[in-house]
Structure 1
Amino acid sequence: MRQNPSFVLGDIPEIRRLIEQNPWVTLVSETADGLVASHYAVVLDPDRDDLTILGHVGRPDEAIHELGSHELLVIVQGPHGYISPGWYDDNPAVPTWNFVVAHLRAVPEILGDEENYRVLGHLVEHFEKRMPEPRLMEGTPANAEYARRISSGTVGFRLTPTRVTAKRKLSQNRPAETVERIIDQLENGVEYPNPALAAEMRRARR
């Protein structure tokens, strides 16, 4: 991803927030057979305050990705959307796309079976805890037995990025009144409503 100094996202807490709010990521590996991409949910490592993430792949994706033998690219995609030049002013302009994204790169650490099982439990709890009656992996003996059996079909990993490229392109290069007009269109317009992107633009202005 080409970086632009005007749009650099270098704040670790903000990148952590991006990951927390957009956990469905793309995993990309360059293997002996060419590029491979998969999609999985990840969570931040609860024992770290950096950008270390925990995740898993289903077998045989670990073999297809050659997981652990080379660098893995993790793409985190946040809110994004079309921006019409009609939302600017009367000067000549072209359409664009606003977005928030982060690329995390490193050779992932492959987890042992027990740690993978704990990570799977943490993953389930992370997403299930907001449910009125959470169904946790070890919530009942039957659940625990099933979870133990099914976890053998997964391979867990921990990735502490050695290279991070994060970008927040949210019309920061436009005048304040233009940004407000774009936000209004994203919040109240009928053609391309996108409240999540509008919220990111307001956050970037702060």
Structure 2
Amino acid sequence: MYIPKMNALAEMDDILAFIDRFSFGILISTSSGRVIGTHIPMLANNDAEQLKLHTHIALANPQWKDIEGQEVLVIFTEPHAYISPTNYIKEESVPTWNYMAVHLYGHVSILHETDQIADVMRRTMVKYEPTYYEKWLELPTDFKQRMLKGIVTFEVAVTEVQGKAKLSQNKSQEEIHHIIQDLHASSLASDSLLAEYMERYARKEH
């Protein structure tokens, strides 16, 4: 990912928080010489020194068949918005797009042990709907086993982390203020969310 120095999202605490909040990522690998991707929820172990991701895909999804040992790319991205040049002081300005994204590179290992698979499923349910996990525990064992046999679970051992926060850092404080106001006035929830991140990182820099 192209990351100008001013746009670098470098603090691991920020990156881990971003992954946790926007955990529906894109897993990109290759199969038969072709690049393929799957949109799936990801769980991070939140260990900055040995970061690992855990996830699962459907057994019917052929992406898993060639993925063992591959270096893959996982992309997390969410708040983004069009930025109008009307927010700038200079008339000779052009539109742009502000956004945040995290790219993780790593190597894949398919999990085969029943307890490993069950743990990933437990963590997934507890994260997204803990009350359902309590119900899951009470479901018949044969049903749960059938469901688990229909998925492939794996781990991504992260080898490289890239974080980017393109938040108008090259603009004046007055212009950033105008952009934030414009985004908050938008009817799009994602615009307001981006404005919140702009406010947060503007405070960090001053």
TM-score (norm 2): 0.88
Report the residue type matching 1:177 in the other structure.
E
Contact 2:23/2:42 (CA < 8 Å) preserved in 1? yes
Instruction: Give, in whole Å, the separation in 2 of the partners of 1:173 and 1:39.
Output: 32
> SS in structure 1 opposite 2:79?
strand
Contact 2:88 2:175 in 1 (8 A): yes
Distance between the aligned counterparts of 1:125 and 1:193, measured in 2? Answer: 25
Name the residue aligned to 2:178. Answer: 181
- CA–CA distance in structure 1, aligned partners of residues 105 and 117 of structure 2: 21
Contact 2:64–2:152 (8 Å) recurs in 1: no
CA distance in 1, matches of 2:185, 2:22: 24
Structure 2: distance between partners of 1:128 and 1:56: 17
Secondary structure class of the residue paired with 2:158: coil
Q: Write the mapping of 1:69-84 to structure 2, written as runs, cut at 5 A.
A: 69-84=69-84
Cα deviation for residue 198 of structure 1 reads: 0.3
Deviation at 1:160, TM superposition (A): 2.4
Change in Cα spacing, 1:191 to 1:139, as seen in structure 2 (3 Å) is closer
Divergent runs of 4+, >6 A: none
Deviation of residue 53 (structure 1)?
1.5
Q: CA deviation at 1:87?
A: 1.1
Name the stretch that deviates more: 18-27 or 84-93.
Answer: 84-93
Does residue 169 in structure 1 map to residue 170 in structure 2? no
State how far apart, in whole Å, the 1-side matches of 2:13 and 2:178 are. 28
Q: Secondary structure of the equivalent of 2:70?
A: coil
Q: Distance in 1 between matches of 2:53 and 2:117?
A: 13
CA RMSD in angstroms, aligned pairs only? 2.2
In structure 2, give the amino acid aligned to 1:118. Answer: D
Count of matched residue positions in the alignment of Structure 1 and Structure 2: 201
Name structure 2 gaps, 5 residues minimum.
none
Residue in 2 aligned with 1:19?
19
Q: Report if aligned partners of 1:8, 1:168 keep a CA contact under 8 Å in 2.
A: yes
Where does 1:87-98 land on structure 2 (aligned, <5 Å)?
A: 87-98=87-98
Amino acid of the residue matched to residue 22 of structure 1?
F
- Please give the secondary structure, in 2, of the residue aligned with 1:74: strand
Moved more, 135-144 or 116-125: 135-144
TM-score, normalised to structure 1, is: 0.88
Identity %: 26
Residue in 2 aligned with 1:200? Answer: 197
Shift of 1:159: 1.5
Distance 1:190 1:102, change over 3 A: closer
What are the equivalent positions in structure 2 for 1:20-99 lying under 5 Å apart? 20-45=20-45, 48-50=47-49, 51-61=51-61, 63=63, 66-99=66-99
Q: Which has the higher helix share?
A: 2
> Residue 150 of structure 1: which of 147, 150, 153 is its match?
147
> Post-superposition shift, 1:62?
5.4
Q: CA deviation at 1:158?
A: 1.6
Are the counterparts in 2 of residues 137 and 144 from structure 1 also a CA contact under 8 Å?
no
